[in-house]
Amino acid sequence: MSKAKKKKIKVIYRKLAREKAWGVAWHDHDIIEIDSRLSKKPLLSTLVHESLHISNQSLSESTVLRMEKIIADILWRQGYRKVDQ
């Protein structure tokens, strides 16, 4: 019996230029990169978006966009956002 190892996705914040996107999901490396210049609402939205991609590679971009909008809106209205540390 195989032991299903729970993978921890690492989130890295940096300025994305070459990528021409606010976020990138690297499936093979379990890494999400997010542009560090994003303000709080688009940051939450982009994080949800890339989390959906990395959770299920077979989701289409339009499905991810639709789910992103719904989930990010729910989380935002419940007060979830990145805190300044």
Nearest distance from residue 14's CB to Zn ion, in Å? Answer: 18
In the complex with Zn ion, the residue whose CB is nearer, 67 or 75, is 67
**Within 10 Å of residue 5's Cβ, how many Cβ atoms?**
6
57's CB contacts (< 8 A; 6+ apart) are: 27
In the complex with Zn ion, the residue whose CB is nearer, 59 or 75, is 59
Q: How many CA atoms lie within 13 A of 41 on its CB side?
A: 7
How many residues bind Zn ion (CB under 5 A)? The answer is 2
Nearest distance from residue 59's CB to Zn ion, in Å? Answer: 9
**DSSP string covering 33-67:** EEETT--HHHHHHHHHHHHHHHH-TTS-HHHHHHH
Nearest distance from residue 85's CB to Zn ion, in Å? Answer: 27
Write out the binding residues for Zn ion, residues 45-74 only, by CB under 5 A: 61, 64
Write out the binding residues for Zn ion, residues 17-36 only, by CB under 5 A: none
Tell me which residues touch Zn ion (CB under 5 A).
61, 64
